[in-house]
Amino acid sequence: MVHYPVYLEVTADKACMAHVLDLPGCFCRAPEPAAALSGLSQAVREYHAWLRTHGEPAPPAEDNVQLEVVEEIASCGPFDPGDAAALFSPERAAITPGEMETYFRLMHHSRADLLAMLSAYAPAPGQPLADEPLDWQPGTDSFTIRRILRHIGNAEEWYVSRLVPPKSLPPEWEGDEKLPLFEFLEMERRTAVERLRRLTEGQRSRVHHPRRWTRYPQEPWTARKALRRFLEHEREHTAQIREILARWERR
């Protein structure tokens, strides 16, 4: 049996996002905590399978999963873009450069999954996804895949900006919206990781309260939280894009 501590953020109306911090990027959202915990068990098994797919160590598939809620934080929710995200107690600890490299490796796997999924719908091997699926809108209030991909890149800029002074952000980010979509995605990730690798010991250790580019200047950030959000955010939107592509095929 494998045991994981679970960390919950719960909104006033009881919507819940449950996280396994020991498995960065493993989470489950649901309308209430019990449903989030129920879904999290399957999310953990899928995460273990994902690790094995990428050659990472993981518990055997037949191992039972035991989850234990160890912390619950009230969240403003509802977990939409721009909403404040919880900082859990273990994320207040300093992070070492070696630990950061583990996150970067997992981020590489996540990005590889996203690009492989998109390439399966490309008109020919080695070509980018065509404009038609990129710009297809499944509903009047829905994001297109193109908009989601831009959002992923912009969010990664924002996560880095939670930890460092604005003047130290990568100059490549100025005017980045003019770049073609997939060049934009590659540049954002590459420069974000390069900048994170240059965090000082103090920046890797302290709790930050950035006041720029946020509706929640009281929201606390650490390097651990930012790296977790890199993975959660991309994995969540990869699943969203997968659903859009499936609907596009059935249209």
For residue 123, the SS3 value is coil
- When the pLDDT of each residue in the chain is averaged and rounded to a whole number, the result is 96
pLDDT digits (tens, 9 = 90+) for 151-170: 999 999 999 999 999 999 99
Q: How many CA atoms lie within 13 A of 61 on its CB side?
A: 6
Q: How far apart are CA 84 and CA 214, in angstroms?
A: 9
Of 233, 51, 87, 47, which Cα lies nearest the Cα of 39?
47
DSSP strand E in the chain: where?
Answer: 2-10, 16-20, 26-30, 65-74
Domains of the chain: 2-79 (3.30.160.250), 90-250 (1.20.120.450)
pLDDT class of 18 with cuts at 50, 70, 90: very high
> Taking the alpha carbons of 55, 61, 66, 67 in that order, is the dihedral positive or negative?
positive
pLDDT digits (tens, 9 = 90+) for 177-234: 999 999 999 999 999 999 999 999 999 999 999 999 999 999 999 999 999 999 999 9
pLDDT of residue 140: 87
pTM: 0.96
Q: How far apart are CA 188 and CA 61, in angstroms?
A: 35
